[in-house]
Amino acid sequence: MTPKRFLLIVLIAVFLGCKNQETVVGSIPTTDQQREAFVIAFGSCNKHDRNNPFWDDILALQPDIFIWGGDIVYADSEDINTIKATYEAQRAVPGYAALLAQVPVTGTWDDHDYGVNDGGREFSIRKESQQAFLDFMGVPKISPRRQQQGVYSSQLLKNTKGSVNIINLDTRYFRSALTKDPAKGKRYRPNSYGEGTLLGEEQWSWLGEQLKSSKADFNILVSSIQLLSNVHGFEKWGNHPHEVDRLKELIVSSGARGVIVLSGDRHISEFSKTNVPQLGYPLVDFTSSGLTHAYESFSGESNPFRVGEVTHELSFGLLFLNPRSGLVSMQIMAENGKVLQELKQRY
């Protein structure tokens, strides 16, 4: 037994909590508690030519699935062969190859694997880039996903515990232009309300059907960019504020249970949470960003929805979702089973 695996087994935790309980430190649930919960690991911002210290940690947790939150690779290029070669290099990383051999993998892309920093629908080879992404994800050539525009997809995890619907959103293929902000230290400011789109009408229609038809105990929305944090000047849903409102309204009207947002992009990790009128539970946006590089010089940033503190060191995200109790433990993880922060929420 490896030291890491031993540490994960002997850590003692109480995987219970009252409604809206939040903590800033935690521990891995015990093996028995894991059996009652779906285990999901996710992360973003990964460079194939840098050491990723987490592949063995993730594999030791035996998750039901690993989710890419975007920036799987950094292949900024209008040369599709460069993008393809970078994906192939990532597939060849021994730790990732070991994970891929034992754990299902799903997810979405962000700008650097899309092919252009902060890119949207104007990207000249977006169609070719989509096919390269699908190749990397192992999507069959005959899959309908090969014919649609955009890489959005869904995957249902279902067993005797219950079910989890994973909905991967594409915030690149359809995204219209952003509004540049000349203010110092900021790239963008929000568009005028109602101006532009993030998901595009085709994807919005698909998302509506996904949520309205879902019978799952939990519905995970994977967004490469942050939904709730709306003050910083980088990319975010808040640059299209009407789309934020539209998503909240859709979640409420759909009646979907246990909707949780996972996001990446920022090279920091944090929890954001807000109460949405007529939604029977708080909406949480769990950002996990920095598998191989993080915002080490981070000196502070306002986020009116933040719970706990910003983590600006290498980390990955971990969720334990218990359909029977409705309790979800969301954890920001470092190496060797160290829990940097934890948010518990009952649904």
pLDDT tens-digit map of 152-178: 999 999 999 999 999 999 999 999 999
Note the pLDDT tens digit of each residue in 245-256: 999 999 999 999
Whether 305 has a pLDDT exceeding 50, the answer reads yes
Whether 21 has a pLDDT exceeding 70, the answer reads no
With a CB cutoff of 8 Å and minimum separation 6, the contacts of 311 are: 268, 269, 270, 332, 340, 341
Reference 204, options 253, 132, 268; nearest CA is 253
User: Could you give the number of structural domains in the chain?
Assistant: 1
The Cα–Cα gap between 238 and 234 comes to 10
H or E segment and range at residue 98:
helix 94-102
Note the pLDDT tens digit of each residue in 308-329: 999 999 999 999 999 999 999 9
Instruction: Assign residue 159 the CATH number of its domain.
Output: 3.60.21.70
Whole-angstrom CA distances from 323 to 16, 73, 159, 189, 261 are: 13, 33, 11, 39, 17
Instruction: Identify the band that residue 13 occupies on the pLDDT scale cut at 50, 70 and 90.
Output: very low
The better pLDDT of the pair 33, 94 is held by: 94
pLDDT at 186: 76
Domain interval for residue 79: 3-346
Whether 51 has a pLDDT exceeding 80, the answer reads yes
Note the pLDDT tens digit of each residue in 56-79: 999 999 999 999 999 999 999 999
Instruction: Identify the band that residue 267 occupies on the pLDDT scale cut at 50, 70 and 90.
Output: very high
With a CB cutoff of 8 Å and minimum separation 6, the contacts of 213 are: none
pLDDT at 183: 78
Instruction: Identify the band that residue 221 occupies on the pLDDT scale cut at 50, 70 and 90.
Output: very high
Reference 8, options 49, 62, 82, 45; nearest CA is 62
The Cα–Cα gap between 96 and 91 comes to 7
The Cα–Cα gap between 13 and 182 comes to 48
pLDDT at 30: 67
Percent residues over pLDDT 90 in the chain: 87
Inter-residue contact 320 to 291 (CB < 8 Å): no
The better pLDDT of the pair 297, 345 is held by: 345
Mean residue pLDDT of the chain comes to 92
